[in-house]
Amino acid sequence: MKYLAEYRAPEVVEGYLREIRKTVTRPWTIMEVCGGQTHSLVKNGLLNLLPPEVQMIHGPGCPVCVTPLHLIDKAVFLAQERGVILCSFGDMIRVPGSRRSLLEAKAAGADVRILYSPLEAVKLAQENPNREVVFFAVGFETTAPANALSVQYARQLGLTNYSILASHVLVPPAIQAVMADPETHIQGFLAAGHVCTIMGLDQYAPLAAQYGVPVVVTGFEPADLLHGILLTLKQLENGECRLDNQYTRVVKPEGNPQARQVIDQVFEVVDREWRGVGVIPQSGWDVRPELAAFNANLKFEVPQQRAAECPDCIAGQVLKGIKKPHQCSQFGTRCTPLNPLGAPMVSSEGACAAYYHYAQASLAVAEVG
């Protein structure tokens, strides 16, 4: 398949590895921001193939993992106590709340449905005019256009029984938060190609300049990631700090103007709490005030009962790149995908899940990390 097979070709991968070995002369620490990139690095054994001077740190780029506990509890409450049809992408279903997950709520009789598109939730609202339908709108900039379109479509149809529970988070403020944390020592970033496909590149060059670190927008296939690492290393070795775009076949400087317009029409930038990290200013999107009728946060009164995270879970340190999953005392024993203590063990983009499912790579990383 074009744009896929050629980026997995062994000879291409080996070529980039040779160039990386020739380029690196001293230790460097690079963070891949996106959980999808983490999974590709671990699944394909790339961490084992990199020279020991190159240390990859896993970042906070898993929107499911950073969805705050109280929003999961709110979704569970709406499904169980308010009798809404609670719709979500599959990733959120098994993420633990303070008492139970949406999957456990479904098993107890709540009407929780896994959908592939928020527009399916709008259709459900049409088909069930006497039921409230809530879509759990979680994600980075990538999923925001479809969620915004669902609000516009519901408004166009005149529906009063559809709303979204928004938990959108933004990548650039997360990079700023990582760089501001005194416990982190990141020297370069691989930025998420799918996010930049929507938003373009204009937010990343200032970050590279402000913090004096290379930022390379990268895809998700093995050759993409190794090429992105090579471009980052070349900058580091030459004392440079600028924005590079490795993912040129997909990412354009302006992004997707139509998608950005839809986002701006429905969402506004707000402070957002990140699970395990805390509140990051101006790091999320919520529904604009003029569309409050479609904002489940405002539409439903929900008891605000803040619950503490599991004290044995180090998800926050994993998300900030301070520790790796295998450094958690509960990893693979008390905390597993079937019984997760934290979101990174259950999400398909979570670093802990990547290490758990691809044990050989994880063990090799543990030996060198």
Q: What is the pLDDT along the chain (369 residues), one digit of tens a residue?
A: 566 778 888 899 999 999 999 999 999 999 999 989 999 999 999 999 999 999 999 988 888 888 988 999 999 999 999 999 999 998 899 888 888 999 999 999 999 999 999 999 999 999 999 999 999 999 999 999 999 999 999 999 999 999 999 999 999 999 999 999 888 889 999 999 999 999 999 999 999 999 999 999 999 999 999 999 999 999 999 999 999 999 999 999 999 999 999 999 999 999 999 988 889 999 999 999 999 999 999 999 887 666 777 888 888 888 888 888 988 999 989 999 888 888 888 887 889 988 988 854 444 444 444
- pLDDT confidence of residue 367: 46
Angle separating helix axes 257-266 and 144-157, nearest 10 degrees = 60
- pLDDT confidence of residue 9: 87
Say if residues 190 and 216 touch (Cβ distance below 8 Å): yes
Identify residue 72 by its one-letter amino acid code.
I
DSSP collapsed to 3 states, 10-79? HHHHHHHHHHHHHHCCCCEEEEEEEHHHHHHHHHCCHHHHCCCCEEEEEEEECHHHHCCHHHHHHHHHHH
- Give the total number of structural domains in the chain: 2
Q: For residue 263, what are the contacts with CB-CB under 8 A and spacing of at least 6?
A: 141, 144, 145, 148, 198, 285
Do residues 322 and 232 share a domain? no
Cα–Cα dist 334/242, whole Å: 43
Do residues 249 and 331 share a domain? no
Cα–Cα dist 41/355, whole Å: 10
Domain stop point among 288, 311, 334 = 311
- pLDDT confidence of residue 259: 97
Q: What is the CATH number of the domain that holds 122?
A: 3.40.50.11740
Residue pointed to by tokens 């408004």:
155
Say if residues 76 and 52 touch (Cβ distance below 8 Å): no
Question: In angstroms, what CA-CA distances link 180 with 172, 185, 186, 211, 322?
Answer: 12, 10, 10, 9, 13
Cα–Cα dist 62/91, whole Å: 10
Do residues 156 and 199 share a domain? yes
DSSP collapsed to 3 states, 225-282? HHHHHHHHHHHHHCCCCCEEECCCCCCCCCCCHHHHHHHHHHEEEEEEEECCCEEEEE
Structure-block tokens of residue 198: 């929507």
- Report the first-to-last Cα separation within the chain, whole angstroms: 35
Say if residues 230 and 202 touch (Cβ distance below 8 Å): no
Do residues 133 and 200 share a domain? yes
Do residues 239 and 360 share a domain? no
- pLDDT confidence of residue 359: 53
Domain stop point among 294, 311, 328 = 311
- pLDDT confidence of residue 366: 43
Structure-block tokens of residue 264: 């701006």
Q: For residue 98, what are the contacts with CB-CB under 8 A and spacing of at least 6?
A: 69, 72, 73, 305, 307, 308
Do residues 285 and 327 share a domain? no
Angle separating helix axes 144-157 and 118-127, nearest 10 degrees = 20
Cα–Cα dist 136/92, whole Å: 8
- pLDDT confidence of residue 275: 85
Instruction: With CA atoms as reference, report the closest residue to 218 among 32, 63, 358.
Output: 32
| Burial 209-237, CB ≥16 within 10 A → b, else e | eebebbbbbbbbbbbbbbbbbbbbbbbbe
Do residues 205 and 327 share a domain? no
Evaluate the CA torsion angle 309, 310, 313, 314 in order and state its sign: positive
- pLDDT confidence of residue 183: 86
Do residues 273 and 358 share a domain? no
- pLDDT confidence of residue 272: 94
**336: DSSP letter:** B
- pLDDT confidence of residue 310: 81
Do residues 68 and 212 share a domain? yes
Do residues 272 and 223 share a domain? yes
Do residues 364 and 268 share a domain? no
Domain stop point among 268, 285, 311 = 311
Output the pTM of the full model.
0.91
Say if residues 150 and 135 touch (Cβ distance below 8 Å): yes
Say if residues 302 and 77 touch (Cβ distance below 8 Å): yes
Do residues 237 and 341 share a domain? no
Residue range(s) defining the domain that contains residue 332:
315-368
